[in-house]
Amino acid sequence: MEKELETIQQIYNVVVEFIINYSFQILGAIIILIVG
């Protein structure tokens, strides 16, 4: 169980990092689509 939890936490960290890195780009693209 301990190892499973560790794996889930690693996946969670990667997903959070991915969202943080790309959320600004996605947000910008959405704004451009709405404004443009």
> Looking at residue 13, what is its pLDDT?
97
Residue 25, Cβ neighbours under 10 Å: how many? 9
Cβ partners under 8 Å of residue 11, min gap 6 = none
* Residue given tokens 């704004």 in the structure block: 31
- Predicted TM-score (pTM) of the model is 0.54
> Looking at residue 4, what is its pLDDT?
94
Using one digit for the tens of pLDDT, what is the confidence trace for 1-36?
899 999 999 999 999 999 999 998 999 999 999 998
> Looking at residue 7, what is its pLDDT?
96
